[in-house]
Structure 1
């Protein structure tokens, strides 16, 4: 995988991998509108051309039940297990029926959600009448992260994330931001951290400048989107004053 020099050669490797795991189709990439010209994103797939055209024309990207489920978990799942992660509706049943009409029946998806990037996944699927191979799925589970990493490298995302992962905020700026996201005012945050509310405001303003946010809601969004803050870090419920 590391020897691949471009996306075309990676697709050749994917053809062989798909056969090895007992499947007919692969779909590796980000869940975005491919008509919007997003930079540094990728999509590699060999689904029937008619299905790809129908899928794109009707704007299913990021909305179909497989994409929705992969945005809610990092664990690999069979398509029939997607209802464990998202509400599965009659529209989803119709979507799957349509996929079968176009020649795509069952599948196995490995989510690939990297902080600071678009949601993504690695999927292997079969034609109608061909059951998924359990032994092949073990291999698919193991190799999917390597495939996704190779594609990220080839479109330059690995280098971008090296820059993103360098510290964007100071520890104090992060602390102020975390309490702001928990719904605390500057005064309350100052009490918690043992600093003045003016200092809290200054830290948040600087955090906004560094992340390119013009207001606090956008600051919170960008902080999570870039991986600077993770949702589990944001406290809920009562707090006690930090006397340190």
Structure 2
């Protein structure tokens, strides 16, 4: 998929290929994360218990602080200029030091659609329990804080990209039947839009593929870890897919407020 070529972006086949590639990254990162224990001190905003920060007045956890610092650096390298990236700390990103890339307008105005707060809360409060274990060995945890922080941030950013890719899915589906979606949007028919974007057959294929990959990857290399193919399926079925569809519906509900040309464009 080339974001400088809109005709490649709107094809569902290209979008699905991107999603499959993301799937592999996310699976391996979940498996990698399962090597390390849950470390609650990374996720606590309590200034008395979190690891020491250069800014003692920072409102947030150690993970939040390091994630913000990384995004500040990444923004200077154009990461968040890309149409498929959403920052977790949008107020802190900096202008790029590299020459700006003039991307064509691919989506309706979506700068307000940012689910990263939900994604972070979901990851810390629910997903970690499915992929990692607690341990009373505080010495080991302290030794691994850096590694845990790095993989947590990588996972959060890849989950964000996967879920916000629903914006491109939604635009592609809109272009595939402009008349139908326009009517649903004008009627503010949330349930109708949700039904229109849902493809149970495709979702079942995704879950089956995840199960097969999980059985293969985990059994071969990580069979003694907590993560299982069952948990991978649960994470996608109960969290990633529903949140992606929530992004799609919100985008479509506001799609007509920002007109971008659909004439002459074939999305499929």
**TM-score, normalised by the number of residues in structure 1:** 0.25
Q: Which has the higher helix share?
A: 2
TM-score by length of 2: 0.23
Q: Which has the higher contact order (CA 8 A, sep 6+)?
A: 2
